[in-house]
């Protein structure tokens, strides 16, 4: 089963994908995590990707697509995968369809997360991530703080604020790009009959874990 997570930055795609991954065994494939790992290790891919990410721009397809193809071909993704951060445009979605067809697969479910913009900005400014690349746990110092300030509950590694989360101007730029380039994907997958939209907001008392639990239950019942 191939699942895609859609939604602007800060909607909780990574958190929900992680919960689904734990319950299904499907690997969570996050292009953002792969980029950040390469940036921290100063690889050729990381240096190129950082030129775009630091400005809040999308990384070009010629960098992103080969990376996704390689990851989807690995053994642990044979029975299913959860794509978090790809595709970002309808062009990438069409390329993904071709990639999956060559692997004898297709997109089975697209989860579209919706959150009010002002809530998204606040969430990103208050988000903290584990520095341990094997853990990658995510916290929010307002909504989901760690038990000990600055320390990951799961592995004990230090937490940090992502560089692209500390700049309100870059955050606004990312949200603008999402509306312009990524939101058309909602219609693309809606027409294919695989779209499931979910509102994630404290204003309606429905957070990521609530959405994840409902989706996991539906997957297991089908």
* Coil, strand or helix at 52: helix
C-alpha to C-alpha distances, 170 to 89, 122, 154, nearest whole angstrom: 19, 13, 29
- In the block, tokens 């053994």 appear at 75
- The separation between CA 139 and the C-alpha centre of its own chain, rounded to angstroms, equals 15
Closest to 9 in 3D by CA, of 135, 109, 121, 150: 121
Given the residues 173, 181, 202, 206, the one annotated as active site: 173
Residues listed for the chain: 222
Nearest-CA neighbor of 34 among 79, 76, 80, 84? 84
95 part of the active site: no
Residue among 71, 88, 136, 174 flagged as catalytic: 88
**Tokens, residue 106:** 């297709």
- Identify any residues that bridge with 28 across adjacent strands, giving them in sequence order: 82
Edge-first strand listing for the sheet containing 2-6: 28-30, 81-84, 2-6, 107-114, 195-199
Q: Is 71 a catalytic residue?
A: no
Q: Which of 123, 127, 128, 136 is catalytic?
A: 127
Task: Count Cα neighbours of 191 within 13 Å in the Cβ-side half-sphere.
Answer: 6
36 a catalytic residue: no
> Is there a catalytic annotation at residue 196?
no
Query: Which of 162, 196, 206, 209 does the annotation list as catalytic?
Result: 162
Q: Which residues does the annotation mark as catalytic? A: 13, 88, 127, 162, 173
């Amino acid at each position: 089963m191939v699942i895609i997570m859609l939604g602007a930055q800060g909607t909780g795609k990574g958190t929900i994908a992680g919960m689904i991954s734990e319950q299904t065994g499907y690997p969570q494939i996050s292009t953002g995590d792969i980029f950040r790992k390469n940036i921290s290790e100063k690889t050729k891919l990381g240096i190129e990707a950082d030129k775009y990410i630091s400005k809040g721009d999308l990384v070009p397809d010629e960098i992103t697509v080969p990376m996704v193809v390689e990851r989807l071909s690995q053994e642990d993704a044979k029975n299913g995968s959860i794509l978090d951060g790809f595709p970002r445009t309808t062009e990438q979605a069409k390329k993904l369809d071709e990639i999956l067809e060559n692997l004898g697969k297709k997109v089975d479910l697209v989860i579209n997360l919706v959150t009010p913009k002002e809530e998204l900005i606040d969430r990103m400014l208050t988000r903290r991530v584990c520095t341990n690349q094997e853990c990658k746990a995510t916290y929010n110092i307002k909504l989901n703080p760690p038990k000990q300030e600055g320390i990951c509950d799961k592995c004990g590694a230090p937490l940090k604020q992502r560089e692209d989360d500390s700049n309100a101007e870059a955050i606004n730029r990312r949200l603008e790009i999402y509306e312009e380039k990524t939101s058309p994907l909602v219609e693309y997958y809606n027409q294919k009959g695989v779209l499931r939209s979910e509102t994630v907001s404290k204003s309606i008392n429905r957070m990521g874990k609530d959405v994840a639990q409902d989706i996991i239950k539906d997957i297991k019942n089908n």
